Amino acid sequence: MIRNWRWPIVAGLLVAALAYVVTLRRAPTMLMAAAERRLEKLGGVNRFAHAPLATAASRAVVRPSPDLAYSSCVFDASKAPVLVDVAPVPARYWSLSVFGANTDVAFVRNNVEAGNAPIRVALVMPGQAVPAGYTGVLVPGGHGVALIRILIDDRARFALVDQARRVSTCGVAAAG
């Protein structure tokens, strides 16, 4: 009787192993690829897209906070480093986060940690040089999303904050 169950048990274990690999190994990469495609429609690749303040209908990737202004850059560092320069803004809190292709956080810094000075990072792959004046951030896979978040505690000041955040840049390093 037990012999009749041997192959179904083996098949069940194989299906479980495959489900594990797909769910825990591939799902983050697939979810980030979908997020990159959606965000790319807002601003392209290797440049910041500055979203308006969130409303109840805002859903580019996840439910955004109505207290934060978001700027996102889908980046591709596969051919050359991508330089991200974040200018300080007149807000109590702002930050830069860099997410790799597998959803892992590769870098985070906020205005307090930066001393309210500009944040300058070079998103690189192994073997790529980090330009002088930049902090190197190794991004496995070479692509992902850089995200600026700015606390908007007074909506009347949003125009001033919006103008200041548009100084920030995200782009491929010039060859040289």
The 10s digit of each residue's pLDDT in 39-56 is: 566 677 888 888 888 766
Query: Which H/E stretch holds residue 70?
Result: strand 68-76
25 is a domain residue? no
Query: What's the chain's average pLDDT?
Result: 85
- pLDDT (tens place) for every residue of the chain, 176 residues total: 556 787 888 888 888 878 787 776 665 665 655 665 665 666 778 888 888 887 666 655 566 778 899 999 999 999 999 999 999 999 999 999 999 888 788 999 999 999 999 999 999 999 999 999 999 999 988 889 999 999 999 999 999 999 999 999 999 977 65
Query: What does the block give as tokens for 117?
Result: 């000075």
What three-state secondary structure class fits 86? strand
Q: For residue 138, what are the β-bridge partners?
A: 124
36 is a domain residue? no
C-beta separation of 164 from 71 below 8 A: no
The residue segments making up the domain with residue 167 are 43-172
140 is a domain residue? yes
Q: 30, 15, 35, 4: which is closest to 147 by C-alpha?
A: 35
26 is a domain residue? no
d(CA 13, CA 27): 20
Q: What is the CATH number of the domain that holds 159?
A: 2.60.40.1610
d(CA 42, CA 146): 14
17 is a domain residue? no
Predicted structure pTM score: 0.78
55 is a domain residue? yes
The total domain count for the chain is 1
103 is a domain residue? yes
133 is a domain residue? yes
